[in-house]
Amino acid sequence: NHEVARAYFERAAKLQHTISHYVLGKIYKYGQGVPIDYDRAQQYFHFAAERGDSDAMVEIGNNYKNGWGVPIDFHQQAQYFQRASDTG
């Protein structure tokens, strides 16, 4: 049940749980039980990326590559991909 899962991830995110922010980003990016909201997804991904989540960095890079919620920007894309690679 997407609604129940989202509620648990939101509770964990309020406690600053990094992976929960990443998962919520995916939920909003792909519209899993909610309308697609690229801006909200990007906010969740940024929180996780700033705390070292390399998967979130890749998601942000892909958003810049494809123009999902942000202008297409290959320089930003490359920076986030490099950061993810450096992080591991």
Q: What pTM, to 2 d.p., does this model score? A: 0.92
Rounded Cα distance, 37 and 86, in Å? 28
pLDDT at 1: 87
Question: What tokens does 16 get?
Answer: 């600053």
pLDDT at 79: 98
At residue 88, does pLDDT exceed 90?
no
Report pLDDT digits (tens) over 25-69: 999 999 999 999 999 999 999 999 999 999 999 999 999 999 999
Environment class of 40 (CB within 10 Å of its CB; exposed 0-12, middle 13-18, buried 19+): middle
